[in-house]
Structure 1
């Protein structure tokens, strides 16, 4: 029998080429919420962009410097400003002279359970990319694709030359994204997923988990999963009457690591808020019921 999988056993700080234009460097921050850690991508050959520079850890910054290998850095791009994605942007900018470009700054007090997902209050981009705006280097072009939902400021980046999409936390290779109110928005997330479904990307490079080589099938499956979860919530309330979120989580997330239950509760809350806005449920203090 194979030994239990431990993400901490995977090599960090090693540049792994994935395509002629894309390499990744895994940050040393594995957890139940980041899986093996945050994956930073280096895009380009003669000059490069760095996507999601990750946590401000000296060993990770040294690994990125080694991966850049003295090449000019055109831009440092961030998909969103959770602390496992953007804090290394500024020190890397100071080391390379590259501008920090990408998502808008967002500082929000999040009462969710994920310490790693707190917002990076120090993030100050030199340029914010609007949907459809581009950054280009020698032989590569990255286009911003607005995908709010996981966070309101979330961007994906499309690499036209390889029909690739860097999906940050919007679509991950190991789990569905946590949607944590008040900034996380389930209705916005589903609209963003529909937008990706209508694109023709051939491969996704997520910030956590392996590359996804049949992305439309995965997106359809993830959207179906969210619809199934919504149905579970409605059936639970129809059967049990007014209920609290922890009770829903215990039934609906059987077999899930209990450490993830608080985060699951945030996604359930996001579903309930969406259902409330659609006139299907209502709340009295911390108890929910059918309308």
Structure 2
């Protein structure tokens, strides 16, 4: 994971990325959110949609409202329901009267320390969008692209008029996405990457990090990176059984200890996928090749 750029970060400022797209950065930086969650406003003054309204922080909602101005909000769309993405939808909906649509609700009970944001337990959309379903407004069309893997309810949104894709946490502009079992699924994640690689999107706007101007090149590299990790796991298991935690010091040399849990869960996601494919097996906490 790359470190964040030097401060100051443009928190709360509405930045125009292209005629139909503005970005507002939330003040929630962390090792897992980079400089914070980026909310996007799609529209050109006659009716807009807000994608990933972000965490439940009044200052961020105020910044979104200032950026929207007198424009009518037609919809509030959420890529998924981690707490750095969807909670502000409720307050924004109250202030604008707009419906909340997009991903399906998803809540899992935490069984221990998390390595990513916890789920938004209060997310209650007015409508769930299916894969390929479109939402339209004055001069814009947003199509839902189902991309499970980071979490099972993850959606990306394609802006059909410009070839932009809002990728949420599935593809980020600063790091690979965290895949946390039991809901995060490495097999689904890889299939979703293949799905995006088959597309011809012009640019990606992730929820964390800078815009991705060569998306297919990045996705190809991400697929290759995951395959390298998989091969590394199989090679290490060839030396003998290991627990998931024992892979981390070898595979992630120099990694900040704050991120060790995330790395361990990513290894676990790979191991579960390899187990399903009949390449490895486990006994208690130990994994071995078959």
The interval holding the TM-score normalised by the smaller chain is over 0.9
Change (3 A) 1:266 1:111: farther
- 1:87 matched to 2:87? The reply is yes
Q: Which runs of 5+ in 2 are unaligned?
A: none
**Shift in Å at residue 100 of structure 1?**
0.0
Q: How many equivalent residue pairs?
A: 287
RMSD over equivalenced CA pairs, Å: 1.3
Q: CA–CA distance in 2 between the matches of 1:275 and 1:56?
A: 38
Cα distance, 1:110 vs structure 2: 3.6
Question: Which runs of structure 2 are paired with 1:77-226 in the superposition (5 Å)?
Answer: 77-111=77-111, 113-114=113-114, 117-226=117-226
2: CA distance, partners of 1:266 / 1:257 = 15
1:236-291 superposed Cα distances (whole Å, 9 cap, x missing partner): 1101x111111101100002222111001111000000000011111111111111
Does the CA-based 8 Å contact 2:35-2:208 persist in structure 1?
yes
Instruction: Tell me if structure 1 keeps the 8 A contact 2:4–2:35.
Output: no
Aligned twin of 1:15: 14
Q: Aligned partners of 1:34, 1:153: CA distance in 2, in Å?
A: 19
4+ aligned runs moved over 6 Å, structure 1: none
The question of whether the paired residues in 1 share the 8 Å contact of 2:20 and 2:43 is answered with yes
**Residue 30 of structure 1 aligns with which residue?**
29
| Corresponding residue for residue 246 of structure 2 | 247
Residue 161 of structure 2 aligns to a residue whose secondary structure is: helix
Give the Cα separation in 1 of the matches to 2:106 and 2:130.
15
Deviates more, 1:149-158 or 1:104-113: 104-113
Matched residues in 2 for 1:16 and 1:104: separation? 29
Secondary structure of 1:235's counterpart equals helix
- Listed as ranges, the gaps of 5+ residues in structure 1 are none
Shift of the alpha carbon at 1:112?
Answer: 6.1
Report the TM-score when normalising by structure 1.
Answer: 0.96
TM norm structure 2: 0.96
